[in-house]
Structure 1
Amino acid sequence: MKKSSFFLIIILLFMTKTYSQEIYNVTAENGLNIRKESNLKSEITGKILF
């Protein structure tokens, strides 16, 4: 039981690292469009200017 619990904890820790958010840099001169959904055909709801 201890061994299976240990492996379960290790797997859960690994999963949280692989599915966590990542940081990206945006270098577009005209800013970053904020869209309603995560595809190019969705409506633009805002813009982050630099």
Structure 2
Amino acid sequence: MLYTIAVILLVMWLLGMVSAYTIGGFIHVLLVVAIVMVLVRVIRGERL
């Protein structure tokens, strides 16, 4: 489930990069959250 959320956040970030709206800063925060969640899973040793 965490992996799915990370993928959704990554897609939202990519859409934010394509569109030049002011919500881009929020999208970048979501990307950082997605990366942190994936790293926590990798460090714990859980399978993606």
Pairwise TM-score range, normalised by the shorter structure:
0.3 to 0.5
- Which of 1 and 2 has greater Rg? 1
Which is strand-richer, 1 or 2? 1
TM-score by length of 2: 0.41
Question: Which structure exhibits the higher relative contact order, with contacts defined as CA atoms closer than 8 Å and separated by 6 or more residues?
Answer: 2
Return the TM-score normalized by structure 1.
0.39
